[in-house]
Amino acid sequence: MKYLNVFIGLAALLVNQAAAAAGHSLLTELQTEHVDVTMTFTGSDTLIYGALSRPGDVIIKVTSPNISVDLTHKKAIGPFWLDSGKLTVRHTPGLYYLMSSRPINKLLPARDQLKYGLHLQDALKQAQVDAAAARAMGNWQKAFLDLKQDTGLFRELPHAVKLVEKRLFSATIELPANIPLGTYHLDIYLVQNGRIISHQTRNLEVNQVQLEHWVANAVNQHSWLFGIAFTIFALFLGLTLGMALRRGSDS
């Protein structure tokens, strides 16, 4: 960890000088541009750091690709609590992080917050739902946002971006295990005196690799072939294992 801090310091210093030389007011760098979802994936931390040529605050918005999810609602029917009704919510980011060096509502006026999508509810801007099913669901937007926050897929982190002398910044993007795959967009904003004065974007690729990729691909693209081959494999595995054990205990 100490090593990492020194590394960040040096890197940031270099970036800072480069920034000044190039005339940009914000330069950013990602520790890695690839997050590999392997068989033992239990989440990952990615460091983002950079330099500000002008003092200010930093906001980082992390958006995953859009996915579809089912929202189900339990109702009491007689003595039983049953799933009654389901709403498919399409076109919402699977993950939405708002990280900043200070609470966003202290940094920007409401109009700008809305414009740049800096509230968690802005994740629902493009959401598509069946109108009739949505009416039967009650306040589904609130339920959706609450659940997303409970599972850590939507996060508002008003102190996650660390500033050094208002010139360097760093933040750790903590991704949980059950994240959607694809290209994540990172929007990094430099804020000064209630205005966004610089904006940078970065991409982070989250993909299944190795066996995990191969398996997910087989299951979804060649489902019948996978199903039959896997069943036969399970049959022979069970048979071989069972017979080996039996023979082992007989002798």
Partner 1 sequence: MDIFLPIAHMDVNLLLILSFGLIVGLLSGLVGVGGGFLITPLLIFTGVPPLVAVATGSAQIVGTSAAGSYAHWRLGNVDFKMAILLLLGSWTGGGIGVFVARALQQSGQFGNIVTFLYVVLLGIIGISMLIESVNAIRRHTGASTGSASKPQDKKGWMEKLPMQMSFPVSNLQLSIIIPLVLGVGVGVLTSLMGVGGGFIMVPIMIYMLKMPTKVVVGTSLFQLLFTTAVVASMQAGINHAVDPFLALSLILGSVLGTHWGTLMGVRLPAEQLRLVLALVVVGVAVKMLWGLLVTPDQLYSLSVLLQ
Which residues are near partner 1 by CB under 8 A? 37-42, 67-76, 79-83, 85-86, 88, 94, 140, 143-144, 146-148, 150-151, 177-178, 180, 208, 212, 215-216, 219-220, 223-224, 226-228, 230-232, 234-239, 241-243, 245-246, 249
Shortest separation between residue 216's beta carbon and partner 1, angstroms: 4
Task: Give CA–CA dist 165/100, Å, rounded.
Answer: 16
- Which two structure tokens, joined as six digits, stand for 12? 């940031």
Does residue 49 contact residue 29 with C-beta atoms inside 8 Å?
A: yes
- Residue for token pair 């306040």: 139
Shortest separation between residue 63's beta carbon and partner 1, angstroms: 17
Is the CB of 5 or the CB of 88 nearer to partner 1?
88
Task: Give CA–CA dist 237/9, Å, rounded.
Answer: 53
Does residue 82 contact residue 74 with C-beta atoms inside 8 Å?
A: yes
Shortest separation between residue 233's beta carbon and partner 1, angstroms: 9
- Which two structure tokens, joined as six digits, stand for 74? 């339990």
Shortest separation between residue 234's beta carbon and partner 1, angstroms: 4
Is the CB of 83 or the CB of 205 nearer to partner 1?
83
- To the nearest 10 degrees (0 to 180), the angle between helices 210-221 and 223-250 is 120
Task: Give CA–CA dist 210/238, Å, rounded.
Answer: 25
Alpha carbon dihedral 200, 51, 53, 17, in 10-degree steps, equals -120
Does residue 212 contact residue 37 with C-beta atoms inside 8 Å?
A: yes
Shortest separation between residue 231's beta carbon and partner 1, angstroms: 5
Shortest separation between residue 155's beta carbon and partner 1, angstroms: 15
Is the CB of 40 or the CB of 193 nearer to partner 1?
40
What's the residue count for the chain? 251
Ramachandran quadrant class, 78 (left: phi over 0; alpha: psi -120 to 50; beta: rest) = left
